[in-house]
Chain A
Amino acid sequence: MPKHQLEPKNWVQRYSDYLYNYTVARVNDSEMAKDLVSETFLSALKSMANFKGEASERTWLISILKRKIIDYYRKINSTKGKAEVRINYNDDSDGDWLEERVSDPFDTTAEDSLTNSELGDAIMHCLEKLPEKQAKVFKMKTILGYETDVICNELNITASNLWVIIHRARNAMAKCLEKNWL
């Protein structure tokens, strides 16, 4: 008896945000990311028979997505020479090369962006644990940055209702991040 089962009906609702965030952090192109996530769901559907039930639904979807992302990079790199880096600091170039080479303290290093994408994964993980309604309101307010009255109109709730939901969501998020992040 497999431990985990697949419920394709709930995939978009449950995992699309997580998968999308994962993809955008890696391909840096929001339209492409949407396509990749969408493709992932479709190929997951096709290979449902191969799902053994050992991993959770999400882990399984992520593993398919990872392959999709690798394929994507293979495709854009197949034209030779695209990854070539050109440095043209020769004598006749204009521009102050010395100034350009001074280290920039505001430049983000690979490590910074790695930490950030890990924090991003932790946040997404915590968002998934919120009750559906709290997650929806919190995402709209905090991540999509909608105005209070826009959200109230769309979800048909009062402002004070919204703040109560936000308050609960924030508390849960803070607690969850404390446990999973630092």
Chain B
Amino acid sequence: MGLFNINCDKASHICDKSQYNEASLLDVLMLKTHLLFCKVCRYHSRKNCLLTKRLKSTDIHILDDTSKAKMEKKLQTELSKQQQ
């Protein structure tokens, strides 16, 4: 059982990783065993999964850095024109 005896910090770390599918099978096993005993982590884990679900259910669009830089440049040129 020593292997499965993880603390809450470790559990929440695995929980975060598994939101991005980056937790290994062993990690997930350890997390699941921890959740059996720990009410606080169960709650946190549920909230964390809900957040993932919500983020996935909407199409959030954000700009990549290049388009942002382009916009910034355009704005700056206009701004300097105006100040002259």
Contacts and interface: CB of A to CB of B under 8 A. Distances in A.
Contacts of B12: 167
Given A12-B71, A37-B71, A45 B62 contact: no
B61 A20 contact: yes
Given A9-B79, A34-B63, A174-B47, A41 B13 contact: no
B78 to A, nearest CB: 5
B55 interface: yes
A178 B60 CA distance: 18
A172 to B, nearest CB: 10
Contacts of A8: 75, 79
Interface stretch (A68-76, A77-85, A93-101, A140-148): A140-148
A124 interface: yes
B52 to A, nearest CB: 8
A170 B58 contact: no
A173 interface: yes
Interface in A19-54: 20-21, 24-25, 30, 33-34, 37-38, 41-42, 45
B63 A20 contact: yes
Contacts of A141: 20
- Interface SS, A side: helix
A144 B59 contact: no
Size bin of chain A's contact surface = 35 or more
B55 A123 contact: yes
Contacts of B64: 144
A73 B79 CA distance: 28
A173 B51 CA distance: 8
B71 A120 contact: no
Given A21-B61, A41-B75, A45-B75, A148 B55 contact: no
Contact of B58 (A33, A37, A120, A144): A120
A12 B54 CA distance: 26
A21 B75 contact: no
B13 A177 contact: no
B57 interface: yes
B71 to A, nearest CB: 5
A143 B60 contact: yes
Given A41-B75, A144-B64, 6 more contacts: A12-B68, A12-B75, A17-B63, A119-B57, A120-B58, A163-B17
6 contacts: A20-B62, A33-B61, A34-B67, A117-B58, A144-B62, A144-B64
